[in-house]
Structure 1
Amino acid sequence: MMALAMAGAPVEGDVLISDVTVIDPASETVTAGRDILIDEGRIVAIAPHGEGDLEAARVIDAAGHFVIPGLNDMHSHASFAPIHLSSLKLMHANGVTGVREMGSDCKDEGSIGMCLDAMRVSREQIANGELVGPKLLELSSAKIGMRRAPTKDPVELFYEPSSAEEARASVTFMRSRGAEILKISQEWTPEGFTAFMDAANEADVRVGGHIPMWTSTADAARMGVTSIEHARDLPMDCAAVGAEMRDQLKRKLSGEDLPWPDRRSIPGRAVAEHDAALCEEQVRAMAESGTYYVPTHLTREMDYRAVEDEYRNDPRMAYVPAMQQRHWNRDLDRTAQAPPELIEDLEDFYHLGLRTTKIAHDAGVKVLVGTDANDTMVFPGFSVHDEIANLVEAGLTPMQALAAATTVPADYFGRDDMGGVSEGMVADLVLLSASPIDDIANTTSIEAVIQDGRVSDRATLDALLDEVKAFAAGSGTDE
């Protein structure tokens, strides 16, 4: 950071954003007519317009414009090798300056999924300005879950342990690889998951993902799961069907001669049997345990909208290469085969998910914006704005929804130098032409993205979008 100026001398920096309205979710304030000076990647001064004697090599006239902190996608999948670079470009072009990558490793070198070493190379290149994209703030393991039959493959057993002993060894192995959060699947025995979580807690390593099918949201929180992903478990656990289904699964896994639960009945029953008292118990456990919630409402939206031509023909498909579109269309076709009554239940379940997110937020649960980027119909970068809008639809204020993409991620990472707009903060900012406080859709009115003090103006962002569109229309392989 630059040294303090001598008395009477101007304060100098690299970039000056002049006469802007500052929207700061960290302080929940909106302040008009401010000059922001950036130097060496940090905000070094904020002053009333024209009163701070601030100078910079580059001045951005931001009169009539608004600045917010850079946005974070806290459940992203940009680690597919063929679309890695294009995904990063789309994120940057949409004001995403940080991501938590929830699938940053692979079991086999050379697979379509990138391994941690390759992701760390990208992280360094982004930090050095050699690669366009958001900061890779946290890199997860590949998905970890139990298998019923033992494996003799010495690597597979770490990703799919079949005993409590192997589950504990999995934690050690993933830590040795450098995984910063351990991503879990739903497939666990009670004994195996308890051993895994005990080892993870002892190692002080984060755990997040799909909680075991027999474990309630509250129990997973109490066991130390750092973040619960997707608006699926919590809405179910806010009804009697949740405990009933989980008990049946637990008994089935213990060897009782029972049928598997009818999973198709769960969305309709969760809606019909919603119980405020049960919900209060679940969210209280999350809040008391400090468990973060990443509802990724977009994934539940796909469940019921797969039948809609308008949804499937989203114009943003122009940024998705043919090979990915084929994968998405297969998923859409499969989902659309559900009977009409189930599709209606899934739509109601999506809206129940929004309501339970609001219940959780109001109870003190820390809600994070995450998208599941590159999952079916989840467009990297663009969908961060969709998910922020979903939080407003759920009942959060625009400022609270912005906080879920800015200050709450900063809290998750234990960072006091990101997620806000104040002196000393890292200069990750998005300049908007309209206020998202007036209309949350205005988060898309992006005029410039500033990351670590480096400015991408509208022309630069448009060029990135054009590059991705050309890539998607061409070979479908990043170069």
Structure 2
Amino acid sequence: MRILLASIATLSFAACASVPANVAMAQSADMLIRNVTVIDPDGRTSTPVQDVYILDGRIVEIADSGSSGRVAEQVTEGEGRYLIPGLMDMHAHTSFRPVHQPSLTLMLANGVTGVREMGSDCVDPEGIAMCIGEMRDAHAQIVAGEIVGPRMLELSSSKIDSNRPDDANAVQAAYRPISAEDAEVTIAFMQERGADFLKTGDEFRPEAFATFARVATEQDMRFGGHVPPYLSVADVANMGMTSIEHARDLPLDCSTYGSEFRAGVLAALSGERESFPNRMEMAARSRDTFDETICAGQIEAMRANGTYYVPTHLTREMDYRAGDEDYRNDPRFDYIMAMQQRFWFQDMDRTAERLGPIRSDLEDFFNLGLRTTGLAHAAGVQIMAGTDANDTMVFPGFSLHDELRHLVAAGLSPMDALRAATSVPAAYLGRESDFGGVSEGRMADLILLRADPLADIGNTREIEAVFFGGRLHDRAALDAMLAEVRAWVADADASMAAQADD
């Protein structure tokens, strides 16, 4: 799928002032966003009546409106508007070939200008997952303006754990270490592969994970993802885990049941116990045995070790809402091809059937996840907004705004929710000079909003324009992107139906 490149150069939705030929030599900016309220999450400021000048894809000056002597080639009126940094989705999956380009387009159309891709490599080059070289090529095309999408700010390995098939080839074995020696081979393989971040899965044998964590830390390689079920949040934070994903481990470990559950898993793995703990009990027992003192200790380990937290509350929302008709009738399905919808509905059907009897427990567990995220934030843990985009009922681009709403429900202020999608990710990436704020010298990845997100975080949806590296996509261009994805979905579905008929 290809967005018309003309949309990248679309003129301002409000006003465009051309510079007369006799003063062309005096131009000192490519673009001016005039008389706008600048919201800078990095500095926690909101400053009205500002002029923002952009040159060569970066902000070169911010000044009181009308006070600068600069001349701009293109002018966008910002009166009554709010300018924020582009948003970053720090847990996304765009590397599935059938949905790769539509996902990228939906993200940019929704103001997502950067992603941390959590499955950027292929174990099988002939499979559905793109390989890391292809993902780097896609990023280069995005930056060059050849295709539409967000910057791929960090590319992870595919999931690494010990779930190795008996007939595994060398590459499969590298992704599935089952011993301490294997784990050392895995780290060397991933270094050669060029992954920015190593993603861990659940099924990791204790001896393999211990060595993996030690060697990755020694080699200064970031790793994180799923917490092995025999370790707590505090355990993996102390082992050097860079980020913990999904709001399921912290709520568990904030209860007295957490240590019982973890010990039971370890006993089952070692053969001291015949069966594993019943996961169906986890939600209720975590809720019923929540202990704020225990929780404080788990959170302190995260804070002390600089472990980032990406709770993806949307994934726990699906657990308890899988059978709800209003949840299943989301109008955003217009942007999701039928094949993907089938997978999502199959997942929801299985979830609703298997977990239906404990639906209220799962809703309570979701709310406990919100509560513990709020406690972690209050204690100084760095929270990043991530969605698990393309997982069941997580709509690329759109759902980041849903997650921001969940973060505010967790107790973050609207400013801190914005920071979770802007300045905190920039710090995690070590890219504070480029991203995460609206200030001089930073990349001009920006969103112009029609309403104040500090008054209501839902206003991040009120997008009037997106600036990407200084390229303007006005509302008409963004709507054209959305329309093109809808058309692509319709064409793909028609083609699949025709093939099925044949």
Range into which the TM-score falls when normalised by the shorter chain: over 0.9
AA aligned opposite 1:156: Q
Counterpart position of 1:445: 462
Q: Give yes or no for the alignment of 1:70 onto 2:73.
A: no
Counterpart position of 1:394: 410
Counterpart position of 1:423: 440
Task: Map 1:333-348 to 2 at 5 A.
Answer: 333-338=349-354, 340-348=356-364
SS of 1:221's equivalent? helix
What per-residue deviation string (whole Å, max 9, x for no partner) do you get for residues 118-157 of structure 1?
Answer: 1011011011111100000010001000137765521211
Instruction: Determine if contact 1:206/1:226 at 8 Å carries over to the other structure.
Output: yes
Counterpart position of 1:221: 237
SS of 1:475's equivalent? helix
AA aligned opposite 1:475: A
Which of 28, 33, 41 does residue 49 from structure 2 map onto? 33
CA distance in 1, matches of 2:485, 2:367: 33
- Gapped runs of 5+ residues in structure 2? 1-24, 496-502
CA distance in 1, matches of 2:301, 2:166: 34
Counterpart position of 2:35: 19
Counterpart position of 1:208: 224
- Gapped runs of 5+ residues in structure 1? 1-8
Q: Give yes or no for the alignment of 1:137 onto 2:156.
A: no
Which of 106, 111, 119 does residue 122 from structure 2 map onto? 106
SS of 1:421's equivalent? coil
Relative distance call for 1:439 and 1:149 in structure 2 (3 A) is closer
CA distance in 2, matches of 1:89, 1:64: 27
Displacement after TM superposition at 1:223 (Å): 0.2
CA distance in 1, matches of 2:71, 2:422: 28
Counterpart position of 1:176: 192
Is 468-477 or 192-201 further displaced after alignment?
A: 468-477
AA aligned opposite 1:214: Y
Relative distance call for 1:116 and 1:440 in structure 2 (3 A) is same
Relative distance call for 1:342 and 1:75 in structure 2 (3 A) is same
Is 427-436 or 468-477 further displaced after alignment?
A: 468-477
Which of 374, 378, 381 does residue 394 from structure 2 map onto? 378
Instruction: Determine if contact 1:34/1:48 at 8 Å carries over to the other structure.
Output: yes
SS of 1:307's equivalent? coil
CA distance in 2, matches of 1:289, 1:228: 12
What per-residue deviation string (whole Å, max 9, x for no partner) do you get for residues 177-219 of structure 1?
Answer: 1111001101122211111111111211110110111010001
Instruction: Determine if contact 2:29/2:55 at 8 Å carries over to the other structure.
Output: yes
Instruction: Determine if contact 1:10/1:53 at 8 Å carries over to the other structure.
Output: no
CA distance in 1, matches of 2:39, 2:196: 31
* TM-score where L is the length of structure 2: 0.92
Relative distance call for 1:477 and 1:192 in structure 2 (3 A) is farther
Q: Give yes or no for the alignment of 1:359 onto 2:404.
A: no
Displacement after TM superposition at 1:54 (Å): 2.4
SS of 2:349's equivalent? helix
Which of 463, 466, 478 does residue 480 from structure 2 map onto? 463
Which of 187, 192, 195 does residue 208 from structure 2 map onto? 192
Which of 53, 61, 72 does residue 56 from structure 1 map onto? 72
* TM-score where L is the length of structure 1: 0.96
Which of 155, 161, 171 does residue 155 from structure 1 map onto? 171
AA aligned opposite 2:29: G
Relative distance call for 1:442 and 1:163 in structure 2 (3 A) is same
SS of 1:335's equivalent? helix
AA aligned opposite 1:465: L
Is 157-166 or 296-305 further displaced after alignment?
A: 157-166
Displacement after TM superposition at 1:338 (Å): 3.2
AA aligned opposite 2:309: Y
AA aligned opposite 1:420: G
Instruction: Determine if contact 1:150/1:162 at 8 Å carries over to the other structure.
Output: no
Instruction: Determine if contact 1:73/1:384 at 8 Å carries over to the other structure.
Output: yes
AA aligned opposite 1:446: I
What per-residue deviation string (whole Å, max 9, x for no partner) do you get for residues 314-355 of structure 1?
Answer: 000000000000110100110110354411100000000000
CA distance in 1, matches of 2:104, 2:164: 37
CA distance in 1, matches of 2:168, 2:390: 33
CA distance in 2, matches of 1:385, 1:270: 28
Counterpart position of 1:3: none
Which of 295, 298, 312 does residue 311 from structure 2 map onto? 295
Which of 270, 279, 282 does residue 266 from structure 1 map onto? 282
SS of 1:26's equivalent? coil
SS of 2:170's equivalent? coil
Q: Give yes or no for the alignment of 1:315 onto 2:315.
A: no
CA distance in 1, matches of 2:376, 2:167: 40
Instruction: Determine if contact 1:406/1:420 at 8 Å carries over to the other structure.
Output: yes
Displacement after TM superposition at 1:476 (Å): 4.7
Relative distance call for 1:161 and 1:121 in structure 2 (3 A) is same
Which of 91, 99, 105 does residue 107 from structure 2 map onto? 91
Q: Give yes or no for the alignment of 1:432 onto 2:449.
A: yes
Instruction: Determine if contact 1:151/1:157 at 8 Å carries over to the other structure.
Output: no
Cα RMSD, aligned residues only: 1.4
CA distance in 2, matches of 1:458, 1:356: 37
Relative distance call for 1:333 and 1:150 in structure 2 (3 A) is closer
| Alignment coverage as a number of residue pairs | 470
AA aligned opposite 2:184: R
How many percent of aligned residue pairs carry the same amino acid? 54
Counterpart position of 1:5: none
What per-residue deviation string (whole Å, max 9, x for no partner) do you get for residues 423-461 of structure 1?
Answer: 111111000000001111100000000111111110100
Instruction: Determine if contact 2:164/2:176 at 8 Å carries over to the other structure.
Output: no
Displacement after TM superposition at 1:56 (Å): 1.1
CA distance in 2, matches of 1:89, 1:470: 13
Instruction: Determine if contact 2:164/2:173 at 8 Å carries over to the other structure.
Output: no
